[in-house]
Amino acid sequence: MPAIKGTLHGHQGFLIFMRMLTRYGPFCRSCGIAACRDMSAKTLWQGWWGLLSLIITPGVLIGNLITRIRLGRLAEPIPGAPGVPAVPGRPVLRRAAALGLVIPVVVAAVIVWGVGRDPAYADVGSCVSVEGTENDPDVTVVDCGASDAMYVIVGKVEDTTDSAECVKFPGTVASYTEQQESRKLLLCLAENG
């Protein structure tokens, strides 16, 4: 004593399936913090290994953090209470399992990097490099100061692949079209420089 009722969760993501872990209170301050740190640390390195797990794991960690705050407000356990309070151990971010936070950061960085180079997400004024053949070009967004920045986007038209639309944009010397299912995109390109 004193103790509160609480629920702590853990999550294990596997490529195809996942598993939720649960510990129910009542918890005294020491036992609750120990359980929270244990469940959260394991979730940090086991929770990210599936597509749906990338969404569930942050929710589990936030839920545990809320319970951890409630546990931190309790007084130290009263000596002589039944049972021996657990030793909380090292904080979660001081454990090796905290390296599990690198996983979502790397995933997010790869997504941002890929989207940043995709011409479908480029704005007018962005520069592109073009490799490949005329029938199968490989267009990538690059910095306008880069040596391979051949063109600058002077016009972007959604829902069409008709390059005749580029006459509306002065300086157009080439066009790039992209169609994915019902989504169509036309980029009108002028020479960079």
Q: Is the pLDDT reported for residue 84 higher than 80?
A: no
Q: Are 29 and 72 in contact (CB under 8 A)?
A: yes
Higher pLDDT, 44 or 137: 44
Taking only the tens place, the pLDDT of each residue in 34-81 is: 999 999 999 998 988 888 988 999 999 999 999 999 999 988 887 766
pLDDT digits (tens, 9 = 90+) for 12-29: 998 888 999 999 989 989
* Arithmetic mean of pLDDT, 78-100: 80
The percentage of residues in the chain with a pLDDT greater than 90, rounded to a whole number, is 43
Cα–Cα distance between 61 and 41 in angstroms, integer?
A: 9
What is the arithmetic mean of pLDDT over 110-133? Answer: 86
Q: Which tokens belong to 112?
A: 């941002």
| Virtual torsion, Cα 119, 124, 128, 133, nearest 10 deg | 60
The pairing of strands 151-158 and 27-28 is: unpaired
Q: Is the pTM for the entire model greater than 0.85?
A: no
